[in-house]
Chain A
Amino acid sequence: MQRRNRWLGAGALAVIGAVALSACGSGFSSSSGGSSGGKLTSSKKPISVLIGSSGPAETAAVTSAVADWSKTSGTSAKVIAASDLNQQLSQGFASGKPADIFYLGNTSLAGYAAAGDLLSYGSKLPNKDDFYPSLTKAFTYNNQLYCAPKDFSTLQLVINNSLWQKAGLTAADYPTSWDQLESDAKKATTGKVVGLSMNGQYERIGAFMVEAGGNLMNATSTKATADSAANVTALTYVKKLLNEGVMKYAKDVGESDGGQAIGAGKAAMTVEGNWVTGELKSDFPSVKYTVVPLPAGPSGKGTLVYTNCWGIAKDSPNQAAALKLVEQLTSEKDQLAFSQAFGVLPSIQSAAADWKKANPTLVPFLDGAAYAQGTPASKNSAAVVTDFDSKLETLATSDPKTILAAVQKNLQATLK
Chain B
Amino acid sequence: MTTLTGRASLRRHRGGISRGEAGSGWLFTAPTLILLGLFLVVPIIMALWVAFSDWTGNGSPFTSAVHFVGLSNFSSVLSGGGLDEQNFGQALRNNAWYVILVVPIQTIVALFLAVMVNRQILKGRGIFRTAFYFPSVTSSVAITVLWLFLFSQSGAINNVLGWFGINGPNWFNEPSGIIQDGLAGLGIKQGPAFLTDHTFLSVSWWDWIGGPSVAMTALIFMAIFTTSGTFMLLFIAALQNMSGEVQEAAMVDGANGWQRFRFVTLPQLRPTLFTVLTLGLIGGWQIFDQIYTGTQGGPANTTTSPAYLAYSTAFGNGQEWGQGAAIGFIVFAIIVVFTILQRIILRERKVSKRRMRLYNLPPSAREGSSSDEDDDGPGMSAAIGIATASQVNRSGGTV
Query: A residues touching B (Cβ–Cβ < 8 Å)?
Result: 1-2, 5, 8-9, 12-13, 16-17, 20-21, 24-25, 27-28, 31-32, 86-87, 90, 93-94, 96, 105, 107-108, 110-112, 114-117, 251-252, 254-255, 315, 379-384, 386-387, 389-391, 393, 410, 413
Among the 9-residue stretches B80-88, B128-136, B347-355, the one with 4 or more Cβ atoms under 8 Å from chain A is B80-88
- Additional pairs, 4, CB under 8 Å, beyond known A105-B317, A111-B317: A86-B316, A90-B319, A116-B56, A383-B318
Q: How far is the CB of A406 from chain B (nearest CB, A)?
A: 9
Inter-chain CA distance A116–B66, complex, in Å, is 12
Q: Which of B42, B56, B154 contacts A115 (CB 8 A)?
A: B56
Other-chain residue from A8, A9, A110 in contact with B317 (beta carbon distance below 8 A) = A110
Complex contact B33–A12 (CB within 8 A): yes
CB neighbours (8 Å) of B63 from chain A are: 25, 28, 32
A12 to B31, CA, bound (A): 12
Contact with A along B9-23 (1 / 0, CB 8 A): 001001000010010
Can you name the residue of chain A whose Cβ is closest to the Cβ of B311?
A87
Q: Is B22's CB under 8 angstroms from A16's CB? A: no
Q: Is B267 an interface residue (CB 8 A)?
A: no
Of listed A111, A115, A383, residue having the most chain B CB within 10 A: A383
Measured between beta carbons, the chain A residues less than 8 angstroms from B60 are 24-25, 27-28, 31, 96
In the complex with contacts A251-B170, A387-B86, A390-B301, A115-B57 CB distance below 8 A: yes
CB-CB under 8 A from B318, the residues of chain A are 111, 379-380, 382-383
- Contact in complex: A17, B41 (CB < 8 Å): yes
Assess the B317–A108 pair: CB atoms within 8 A.
yes
Q: A24-B60, A25-B62 in contact; A111/B87 too (CB < 8 A)?
A: no
How far apart are the CA atoms of A108 and B312 in the complex, in Å?
Answer: 12
Known contacts A86-B315, A382-B318, A390-B175; is-contact A115 B299 (Cβ 8 Å): no
List residues of chain B with CB under 8 Å of any chain A CB: 11, 14, 19, 22, 26, 30, 33-34, 37-38, 41-42, 45-46, 56-60, 62-63, 65, 82-84, 86-87, 153-154, 170, 173, 175, 297-302, 314-320
A21 partner residues in chain B, CB cutoff 8 A:
42, 46, 62
Query: Which residue from A13, A254, A413 sits with its C-beta under 8 Å from B170?
Result: A254
Residue of A nearest to B19 (CB): A1
B83 and A32 within 8 A (CB): no
Contact A389 B300 (CB under 8 A): yes
- Contact between chains at B316 and A383 (CB < 8 Å): yes
Distance in angstroms between the alpha carbons of A362 and B298 in the assembled complex? 32
The total number of A-B Cβ pairs within 8 Å is 127
Residue of B nearest to A385 (CB): B317
5 pairs, A vs B, C-beta closer than 8 Å: A16-B42, A93-B59, A254-B153, A383-B87, A383-B316
Chain B residues closer than 8 Å to A252, beta-carbon distance: 170
A393 touches B300 (CB 8 A): yes
Q: Which residues in A have their C-beta under 8 angstroms from that of B58?
A: 31, 93-94, 115-117
CA distance A315 to B57 in the complex (A): 13
A contact residues around B19 at 8 Å (CB): 1
Say whether A20 contacts B42, CB under 8 Å.
yes
> What are the residues of chain B within 8 A of A16 when measuring CB–CB?
34, 37-38, 42
Closest to B155 in A: A254
Among A94, A381, A382, the residue within 8 A (CB) of B57 is A94
Residues from chain A with a CB closer than 8 A to the CB of B59 are 28, 31-32, 93-94, 96, 315
User: Do A114 and B319 form a contact, CB below 8 Å, given A93-B58, A410-B82?
Assistant: yes
- In the bound assembly, the distance between CA atoms of A391 and B301 in angstroms comes to 10
Shortest CB-to-CB span from B161 to chain A, Å, is 14
Contact A383 B65 (CB under 8 A): no
Q: Provide the residues of chain A in CB contact with B297, threshold 8 Å.
A: 386
**Contact (A112, B175) CB under 8 Å given A28-B60, A93-B57, A117-B58:** no
B314-A380 in contact (CB<8A): no
User: Which residues of chain B have C-beta atoms less than 8 A from A255's C-beta?
Assistant: 153
Q: Which residues of chain B come closer than 8 Å to A410, judged between CB atoms?
A: 82-83
A17 touches B175 (CB 8 A): no
| A251 vs B170: C-alpha distance when bound (angstroms) | 7
CA of A325 to CA of B320, assembled, Å? 31
Contacts of A112 in B (CB 8 A): 319
Whether A5 contacts B22 by the Cβ 8 Å rule is: yes
Chain A, Cβ-Cβ closest to B60: A28
Whether the Cβ atoms of A413 and B37 lie closer than 8 Å is: no
Name the residue in A108, A115, A252, A382 with the highest tally of chain B Cβ atoms < 10 Å from its Cβ: A115
Task: Indicate if the CB atoms of A390 and B317 lie closer than 8 Å.
Answer: no
Contacts of A12 in B (CB 8 A): 30, 33
Please, which residues of chain B bring their CB within 8 A of the CB of A5? 22, 26
CB-defined contacts of B84 to chain A, threshold 8 Å: 383
Q: Could you tell me the distance in whole angstroms from the C-beta of A209 to the nearest C-beta in chain B? A: 20
CB distance from B242 to the nearest CB of A (A): 39
A16 to B45, CA, bound (A): 13
Give the chain A neighbours of B86 by CB distance below 8 A.
387
- The CA-CA distance from A115 to B87 in the complex, in Å, is 23
Do B320 and A390 have beta carbons less than 8 Å apart?
no
Provide the bound-state CA to CA distance between A25 and B63, in Å: 8
Are B299's CB and A390's CB within 8 A? yes
Q: How far is the CA of A390 from the CA of B59 in the complex (A)?
A: 35
For residue A107, which residues in chain B have a CB less than 8 angstroms away from its CB? Answer: 317
Task: Tell me whether B62 and A413 are in contact (CB under 8 A).
Answer: no
- Nearest-Cβ distance from residue A335 to partner chain B, whole angstroms: 26
Query: Which B-chain residue is minimally distant from A116 (CB atoms)?
Result: B58
What residues of chain A lie closer than 8 Å to B154, measured between beta carbons?
254
For B83, give its contact among A25, A387, A389 (CB under 8 Å): A387
Shortest Cβ distance from B323 into A: residue: A380
Residue in B closest to A255 when the chains form the complex, CB atoms: B153
Cβ-closest chain B residue relative to A25: B60
Instruction: Give the complex CA separation of A382 and B45 in angstroms.
Output: 30
Chain A residue at smallest Cβ distance from B154: A254
A116 to B37, CA, bound (A): 31
A20 CB → nearest B CB, Å: 5
